Amino acid sequence: MADFVLVHGAWHGAWCWRRVLPLLWRHGHRAFALDLTGLGARRHLFRPDIGLSEHVQDVVELLDSEELRGAVLVGHSYAGLVVTGAADQRPDRVGALVYVDAVVPRPGEAWSTTHAAATQAERRALIAATGALAPPDPKVFGLSGDDHAWVARRQTPQPGGCYDAALHFDADRWQRQVRHFVDCTEPALPTVDVSRRRVREESGWHVHTLATGHDPMITAPNDLAKLLHGMASPGQAAQ
């Protein structure tokens, strides 16, 4: 069985994995979900200048404190950057990387890099005015009804320091990692389009598709947990 570390994306918290955790535990895995600094249950630590490096360190500290080896490091959305940075610092503790509808960065890129110019301008203006990015309407993630209401009341502002912070990492070492991408297609979130293309154009990727929106841990937890379980099982990586 495997150790999973589940890292939430922007505006979210460890709460978003609530439906996935017991499914992984049922398969005999150990699974950890953490709150990044300034978000979720750690929103009381919010500062506008919290950046990517602090979030990377959050994950590194968990890997170290739990003394994990060969962990499956799962990053959702913005956290594609976070798990990439953590794996670069602790390659001996990570056995596979999973990008759940997530940013797939190249060295020196930031969260903002792959966004359209209009999105960059809008978000930078918000950060300049408030120091943060306010949560979007969860309908952009394909959420409705009770799920929409649950996410809407749980989301918290994203520290502005995360947006243009560049990530530097060893590309050769990263390319040697086992890498999965979970592409959520209904609806497909436009800010993930560049990552979707990259994983299909570059070698070394195992690409999986889920016919659900950007928050599959909420809208399709059973399907996502099944994929993750398969990634931890011998011979299942290419499914």
Q: What are the DSSP calls for 113-164, one per residue?
A: TTS-HHHHHHHHHHHHHHSEEPPPPGGGGT--HHHHHHHHHH--PEEGGGSS
HSE, side-chain direction, 13 A CA sphere, residue 236: 10
Tokens 């359209």, located at residue: 116
Q: What is the pTM of this model?
A: 0.96
Give the helix/strand (H/E) hosting 83: helix 79-89
CA-based nearest residue to 138, from 36, 215, 233: 215
- Determine contact, residues 216/222, Cβ cutoff 8 Å: no
Which residue in 59, 1, 14 sits closest to 40, CA to CA?
14
Superfamily of domain 3-231: Alpha/Beta hydrolase fold, catalytic domain (3.40.50.1820)
* 88 vs 72: CA distance, rounded Å: 14
* Residues 129 and 212: beta-carbon distance below 8 Å: no
* pLDDT digit string, tens, across residues 119-128: 999 999 999 9
Residue 199 near residue 207, CB atoms below 8 Å: yes
Res. 236: pLDDT tops 90: no
The DSSP call for residue 70 is: S
Structure tokens at 157: 């502002």
- What are the residue ranges spanned by the domains of the chain? 3-231
Whole-number mean pLDDT of the chain?
Answer: 96
What SS3 class is residue 78? Answer: coil
pLDDT band at 238 (very low <50, low <70, confident <90, very high): very low
pLDDT of residue 232: 87
Binning pLDDT at 50, 70 and 90, where does residue 237 land?
Answer: very low
- The average pLDDT across 64-83 equals 98
pLDDT above 70 covers a percentage of the chain that reads 97
Q: Which two tokens stand for residue 34?
A: 């953490």
Sole residue written with tokens 């099982």: 233
Query: 234, 164, 195: which is closest to 76 by C-alpha?
Result: 195
- The yes-or-no verdict on residue 23 having pLDDT over 50 is yes
Which pairing describes strands 158-159 and 132-133: parallel, antiparallel, or unpaired? antiparallel
